[in-house]
């Protein structure tokens, strides 16, 4: 059955829409943090649909909220009509953002949210010049591919904006990697200043950055980098956009938004993924004058639809009621310390915050990316009942982003599998 479905998939789906595993799986049922495939095998989920199923699966409070909306018969009205749940959720997000006089616009995805933020910044600043981080990823749309600093995800060299990339987000392979934190920040800020002074016409629209680079392998700079960068940006009037598509809603544990670790308030934040727990929802929260800068009419057909708003509101309530930010901090510390203690010769670095953990794999005794080991690790963990992801500039980083509801016992179960799989992978590739 799986082979037949795979053949049909390949016949009608694009070749660039990749699937995980040598033998891809079809998920047919899920509950809590476990998923079952069409062959009846059950897995502990440590990737959460790319950090989207943030609460896990079959959560009664979220299902009940969605069913209540479905019972009204209204799945969609469009933003041409008042939507009470949209206004109420926007009010909550505006307050949570910490951005002064904030307004919110809802979209269907992170790509669309980042594309909207780009359009707002370039309109507000009357400039098509954009700064982005090396090793970054911001989406699949034409505009967001243009600002993605990771060759593996840059499908086109064509661009609606002029982009320059700056250092800072990926420390392990940075030319400044051996500097202490303060000196690393100084070097990256000096690079930003140099790019502004030499590679641009001066009137740059924005810098967009992920507090923790998701597709880039959960890489992150020292805390405080973006505060120091924003001081430079403010001197030029350049807007700062924090891409919180993967880092938002308390997943990093120590803060509700990833950017808070840097002690700075951005001009705009984009969000998506975990807010919907599988429902299509994204958006931009920004200073009111920035979000209001369009001189033409616009609306969103599906963005902020009543069903997604009901589910997203229930997700926010669930995060608060179950103190999931604290749970992310505790479970993340458990996984980080356990992986670091494993001391595998394949592992160059275990990094991240909360339940965003990257494990960079190298060929033992070198810093050379170990792509075969990452591929093998996905198979070894799957065979032991654990689903993980991979990413990084070279595809050699294991990505762990379990649902935020992960329990201590489940964290230990997943950790044991990971350590065992590292040993098996090292032995197989030695």
Convert the pLDDT of each residue in 224-259 to its tens digit.
999 999 999 999 999 999 999 999 999 999 999 999
Domains of the chain: 2-58+323-429 (3.90.1150.10), 74-321 (3.40.640.10)
| Residue 17: burial class (beta carbons within 10 Å; 0-12, 13-18, 19+) | exposed
Residues 6+ apart with CB under 8 A from 135: 149, 150, 169, 170, 213, 216, 217, 219, 393
10 has a pLDDT exceeding 80: yes
26 has a pLDDT exceeding 80: yes
403 has a pLDDT exceeding 90: yes
Q: What are the tens digits of pLDDT across the range 412-427? A: 999 999 999 999 999 9
**Mean pLDDT, range 359-377, rounded to an integer:** 98
**Cα 326 versus chain centre, distance:** 19
Three-class SS state of 200 = coil
Backbone angles phi, psi at 110, to 5 degrees: -70, -40
pTM over 0.95: yes
Contact 107, 276 (CB under 8 A): no
* Residues 136-147 as b or e (16 or more Cβ within 10 Å = b): bbbbbbebbbbb
Q: Which segments within 231-323 are labelled E, that is strand?
A: 239-243, 268-271, 282-287
Tokens 């810093």 -> residue: 367
The per-residue pLDDT for 153 is 86
**Mean pLDDT, range 176-187, rounded to an integer:** 98
The per-residue pLDDT for 1 is 61
Select from 52, 54, 55, 56 the least CA-distant residue to 44.
56
**Mean pLDDT, range 114-142, rounded to an integer:** 96
Contact 46, 388 (CB under 8 A): yes
**Mean pLDDT, range 344-348, rounded to an integer:** 98
Using DSSP bridges, classify how beta strands 206-209 and 129-133 pair: parallel, antiparallel or unpaired: parallel
**Mean pLDDT, range 326-337, rounded to an integer:** 98
How large a percentage of the chain has pLDDT more than 90? 95
201 has a pLDDT exceeding 90: yes
The per-residue pLDDT for 156 is 85
H helical segments located in 71-163: 84-97, 110-125, 142-146
**Cα 304 versus chain centre, distance:** 20
User: Could you please report the per-residue DSSP string of 209-244?
Assistant: E-SSBTTTTSB---TTHHHHHHHHHHHHT-EEEEE-
The per-residue pLDDT for 157 is 83
How large a percentage of the chain has pLDDT more than 70? 100
Position 184 confidence tier, pLDDT thresholds 50, 70, 90? very high
Tokens 């392979």 -> residue: 173
């Amino acid at each position: 059955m799986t082979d037949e479905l795979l053949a049909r998939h390949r016949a009608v789906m694009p070749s660039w829409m990749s699937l995980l595993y040598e033998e891809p799986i079809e998920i047919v049922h899920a509950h809590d943090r476990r998923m079952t495939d069409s062959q009846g095998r059950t897995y502990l989920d440590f990737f959460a649909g790319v950090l989207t199923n943030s609460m896990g699966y079959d959560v009664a409070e979220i299902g009940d909220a969605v069913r209540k909306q479905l019972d009204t018969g209204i799945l969609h009205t469009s933003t041409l009509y008042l939507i009470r749940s949209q206004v109420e959720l926007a009010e909550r997000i505006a307050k949570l953002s910490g951005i002064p006089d904030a307004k919110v616009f809802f979209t269907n995805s992170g790509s669309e949210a980042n594309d909207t933020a780009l359009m707002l910044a370039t309109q507000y600043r009357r400039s098509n010049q954009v700064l982005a981080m090396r090793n970054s990823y911001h989406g699949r749309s034409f505009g967001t591919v243009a600002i993605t600093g990771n060759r593996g995800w840059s499908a086109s060299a064509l661009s609606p904006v002029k982009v320059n990339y700056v250092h800072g987000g990926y420390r392990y392979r940075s030319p400044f990697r051996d500097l202490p934190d303060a000196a690393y920040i100084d070097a990256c800020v000096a690079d930003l200043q140099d790019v502004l002074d030499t590679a641009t016409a001066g009137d740059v629209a924005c810098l967009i950055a992920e507090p923790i680079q998701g597709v880039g392998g959960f890489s992150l700079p020292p805390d405080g980098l973006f505060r120091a960068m924003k001081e430079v940006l403010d001197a030029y009037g350049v807007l700062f956009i924090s891409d919180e598509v993967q880092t938002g809603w308390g997943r990093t544990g120590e803060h509700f938004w990833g950017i808070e670790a840097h002690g700075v308030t951005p001009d705009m934040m984009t969000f998506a993924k975990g807010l919907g727990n599988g429902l299509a929802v994204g958006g931009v929260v920004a200073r009111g004058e920035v979000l209001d800068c369009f001189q033409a009419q616009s609306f969103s057909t599906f963005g902020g639809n009543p069903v997604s708003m009901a589910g997203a509101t229930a997700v926010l309530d669930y995060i608060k009621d179950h103190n999931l930010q604290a749970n992310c901090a505790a479970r993340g510390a458990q996984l980080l310390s356990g992986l670091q203690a494993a001391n595998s010769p394949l592992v160059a670095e275990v990094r991240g915050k909360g339940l965003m953990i990257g494990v960079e794999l190298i060929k033992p005794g070198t810093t050379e990316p170990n792509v075969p080991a990452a591929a093998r690790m996905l198979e070894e963990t799957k065979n032991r009942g654990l689903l993980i992801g991979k990413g990084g500039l070279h595809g050699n980083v294991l990505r762990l982003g379990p649902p935020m509801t992960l329990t201590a016992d489940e964290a230990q179960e997943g950790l044991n599998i990971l350590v065992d799989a590292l040993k098996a992978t090292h032995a197989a590739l030695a």
